[in-house]
Amino acid sequence: MSTQPSPHDAVFRRILGDPEHAASQLRAVLPADLTARLDLRQLTRVSENFVDTNLRWRHSDLLFSAPLDGTDAFIYVLVEHQSRTDPLMPFRMLRYIVRIWDRYLHEHPDATRLPAVLPLVVHHNRRPWTGPTDLAELLDLDPPTSAAAGDYLPRFRFLLDDLTRLDQQDLRARPLTPSARITLLLLKIAAGNTELATDLQPWADDLRAILEAGEGIEDFIALLTYIETVGETPAEELHQLFTELGSAAEEAYVTTAEMLRAEGATKGRADTLLELLELKFGPLPPETVQSVNTASTSQLRAWTARVLTATSLDEIWR
């Protein structure tokens, strides 16, 4: 798995990682009788240290806790954006939940009961989800055998929020925070969109509301970064859209666009240097690739200048 999160992962974790935004999404998709017993006002993001790093298998997974009928419960949320539906997703989700329980028991060695873990997968892609959501569908049994085994088979099912099947009218009706609503909208429509400026016009009120929130500028910049990274709308059209939203939106757009152009130039330098180093010295160790990908522009310029005369990798870094 790549060490770098995708743009989808990054915006999802930035916005839906905020308990206020996450709570609004959970209120919208969890069964009403469950949310009535789940105190989402006390929703808390669980430290990633709770689950060992080597157990994490996605950049986009989030773990929260909240009181459920007065006892602690966990909510595990994953955004799924693979081009193909994962046919083993019920097993993967169950495996992760078991690991959460393992970690919980490590932290609470005297526990004799396990906390509830509520699993939610948020799927966005051009194609609707077609895979199973129930572990029973993965078991290689014919229906008569499955019926005979009955209660002795493991039972597990995750909740699926398939954004490809959610129309924009229903999205607008959800009781979401503006940041959460625009995030889900962008996950639905932004990738490869050449007319995103037009498509975002009807959502101007939500965009303004994000800016007017207490720390809304940070959410706004995260959303702008996602738009610039995955969309294909001409810059002048986006600039015009955000100019119409007001001076704060225009300033945020211009600043974000300039920052991303600078980062793009640095990324281009890093890619070129890695190509030159591999041509001259062969396959590169992972630590070299990491050093180049995290270097500043001035470092990259200096290292590139040494490629022609260096006889070893060590001479590049001197």
Q: Are residues 143 and 281 in the same domain?
A: no
Q: Are residues 92 and 166 in the same domain?
A: yes
Q: Is residue 250 part of a domain?
A: no
Q: Of 76, 259, 266, which Cα lies nearest the Cα of 156?
A: 76
Question: Read out DSSP for 81-126?
Answer: --SS--TTHHHHHHHHHHHHHHHHHHH-TT--SPPEEEEEEEE-SS
Q: Is residue 292 part of a domain?
A: yes
Q: Are residues 39 and 129 in the same domain?
A: yes
**The two structure tokens encoding residue 223:** 């959303």
Tens of pLDDT along the chain (318 residues) come to: 444 567 888 899 899 999 999 999 999 999 999 999 999 999 999 876 555 555 454 556 889 999 999 888 999 888 887 667 889 999 989 988 998 899 899 989 999 999 999 999 999 988 899 999 999 999 999 999 999 998 899 999 999 999 999 999 999 999 999 999 999 999 999 989 999 999 999 999 999 999 988 778 999 999 999 998 888 899 899 999 999 999 999 999 998 888 877 776 667 777 788 888 888 888 888 888 888 888 877 887 888 888 778 888 888 887
Q: Are residues 70 and 179 in the same domain?
A: yes
Q: Are residues 183 and 276 in the same domain?
A: no
**pLDDT of amino acid 9:** 86
Q: Is residue 29 part of a domain?
A: yes
Helices (H), 137-285: 143-149, 168-173, 178-189, 196-200, 204-212, 216-230, 235-244, 247-281
Q: Is residue 2 part of a domain?
A: no
Q: Is residue 230 part of a domain?
A: no
72, containing H or E segment:
strand 71-80
Find how far residue 223's CA is from the centre of its chain: 12
**pLDDT of amino acid 55:** 47
CB distance 200 to 224 below 8 Å: no
Strand arrangement, sheet containing 44-45: 44-45, 62-68, 71-80, 116-123, 159-162
Q: Is residue 117 part of a domain?
A: yes
**pLDDT of amino acid 182:** 97
Domain boundary among 173, 194, 215: 194
Q: Are residues 30 and 173 in the same domain?
A: yes
Q: Are residues 23 and 158 in the same domain?
A: yes
Q: Are residues 170 and 39 in the same domain?
A: yes
Domain holding 279, by residue range, is 259-316
Separation CA 299–CA 310 (nearest Å): 16
Q: Is residue 84 part of a domain?
A: yes
Domain boundary among 160, 194, 228: 194
**pLDDT of amino acid 312:** 86
**69 φ/ψ sector (left φ>0, alpha ψ -120 to 50, else beta):** left
Identity of the amino acid at 3:
T
Cβ neighbourhood burial of 284 (10 Å; 0-12, 13-18, 19+): middle
Domain boundary among 147, 175, 194: 194
Separation CA 200–CA 186 (nearest Å): 9
Q: Are residues 177 and 74 in the same domain?
A: yes
Q: Is residue 18 part of a domain?
A: yes
Total-model pTM: 0.81
Question: Read out DSSP for 120-174?
Answer: EEEE-SSS---S-SBGGGGS---HHHHHHHGGGS---B-EEEEGGG--HHHHHHS
Q: Are residues 75 and 156 in the same domain?
A: yes
Find how far residue 313's CA is from the centre of its chain: 36
Q: Are residues 190 and 265 in the same domain?
A: no
The tally of domains found in the chain comes to: 2
Q: Are residues 26 and 140 in the same domain?
A: yes
